[in-house]
Structure 1
């Protein structure tokens, strides 16, 4: 498995929100939830093929801005229709210097 440094913590939203990183040709959202925890997951909604990072974060959920599907950022499971297919969740770690590192699922 390859772990990639994608950004530093101070480049992420200070409150709930997400940014997108390109990791090995894959669009990955790096998000801060409402509790301040960080998550990494595929940025593309499994229902509508649009960026999830452009949606709203509430608690541990991110909502697709197009049709309102919601996904649990810790599991990738859809919790609100119309999406029924989960998104991939990736391992995220923050080093002692504040670097955010992601290991892609299945890599």
Structure 2
């Protein structure tokens, strides 16, 4: 795993997500003053979850209403049945870092 600087705290409004230009895409979410990072694509139909609706630590895909837990990636409502990847988030001052998997070409 490799820590990358994802964004600043101010770039992630409360109860919203921010899509990172990683490969594969990762979304950073802010719930009050807690930050979570997951795969950005809904596992049902690959729609951006950064555009989804947050209710506490649950994100709902705006396309077909699948729901996922931001803490664990667990599917909470169909039509999705494959959980999301989750990534550790670290805050350093106003900067947020996400621990992303190394890609084979990075080795």
For structure 2, the 5+ residue unaligned runs are 103-107
Runs of 4+ in 1 over 6 A off after TM superposition: none
CA RMSD of aligned residues (A): 1.1
Residue by residue, what CA displacement relative to the aligned partner does 1:27-69 show, whole Å, maximum 9, x if unpaired? Answer: 1000012x43110000000001110111100011000001100
For structure 1, the 5+ residue unaligned runs are none
Question: Aligned with 1:10: secondary structure?
Answer: helix
Which residue of structure 2 aligns with residue 7 of structure 1? 7
TM score, norm. by length of structure 2: 0.90
Question: Aligned with 1:26: secondary structure?
Answer: coil
Question: Aligned with 1:57: secondary structure?
Answer: strand
Which residue of structure 2 aligns with residue 102 of structure 1? 98
Q: How many residues align?
A: 102
